[in-house]
Amino acid sequence: MVDFANRVVMRFEIIKIQSLSLKGHGVGEGSDGITFFVPGAYPGDKVKVSVLEAVNESYYEVSSDYEFIEKSMDRVASPCEYFGTCGGCDYLNLSYKAQLAAKENSIHYAMNRIALIPECRLPILAADKALHYRSRVQVRSLGGSLGFYKKKSHDLVDVKQCIMMHPQVDAKYQELRLQKMNASSLQKFEIGMDEQGEVAVYTNQAHGEAGFRQIHSDQNAKLQLLVASWIQEAEAKNVLECYAGNGNLTQGYHSVVNSVLAIEANPFAVKQGEEKFKLNPQVSFKEAFINKKIAVQVHAWNRMLHDTLLLDPPRSGTQGALKVLLHSNLKNIIYVSCSLESFIEDASFLKKNFKLKKLQGIDMFPQTRHVELVAWFQQ
């Protein structure tokens, strides 16, 4: 047996990859029925893997080095010279049709895990632009390099051009490269394009300090329309919107309801929201952290009169805050999620008293394993 950093090869297995995991790894069964997760493998691949066992442990692990027996018909040539080294993308060598199928399967698998089947499951909303779409990126500079981290590393990849950036964002990125920076310490730059198409660069700011905006403008427009149509169909009157940002979702539906109480923790985003809706008295923005104590503030602001709850939490989910925002007269919850893992945690709780009326995925992040999800729960 061969030693690999305190692990030894126990045997070799030939595995047919059937699906992709939530982390983007190929999933297949070995000869003994054990499920294996193979990084970088896609549905349709047949691979010979080294099955590793940790010393003094009883679990199995697959080496990242494997041999192709047969390659999936869905594999394509990557258009990016940095793919496989840069940590930005997962699926640049997988056809877009197969990416969408994998994300649909991930949603289906997640729902089956918690035995929650929607009354109406709608097909994923594909992106018309699967490249050159990112309106916001974070890059780093060290020495003479400017680019992104390697996968699972803080080593920097010097990227001359990123094919995921929106052309206007790329133009600003090229300006940074021309400055020929030679920083002795790591520098962070966030390049963001606003709703008016203006591009700004923020240097060494905390993540999200300049506010949050979806990275795919075209897909964001579809998200806004979807949320607004479901709120209108639900005949919502008074909406409590949590994690509201600067009113990205609010602007799609505020005209069809009586009131909106929009809560956001980022003060910069709150100011933007107040300015955006200053001529709409039915919309009120409040700055507050959304946690298990938020119900006290909501009671003070609207006496918990909301009949509809709209949520768009970060990847970490609501972390228990959802439970304190429910009340007996709450009719609808529209939940926008960018993480299936955190979504199913909240959905498991909601299914006790709510039915899942509609569910739809949106491919907000082409070429990555991530998928946006919109769910409509009804009491």
Q: For residue 64, what pLDDT is reported?
A: 66
Q: For residue 159, what pLDDT is reported?
A: 96
Cβ atoms within 10 Å, residue 282: 14
Which residues neighbour 5 within 8 Å (Cβ) at sequence distance 6 or greater? none
Please report the domains of the chain, with CATH numbers, ordered by start residue. 3-70 (2.40.50.140), 97-129+216-378 (3.40.50.150), 136-203 (no CATH)
Q: For residue 322, what pLDDT is reported?
A: 92
Which ranges of the chain have pLDDT less than 50?
Answer: 1-4, 54-59
Which residues neighbour 49 within 8 Å (Cβ) at sequence distance 6 or greater? 12, 13, 14, 15, 36, 38, 62, 63, 66
Q: For residue 155, what pLDDT is reported?
A: 93
Q: What does the pLDDT look like over 111-169, one tens digit per residue? A: 999 999 999 999 999 999 999 999 999 999 998 899 999 988 889 999 999 999 999 99
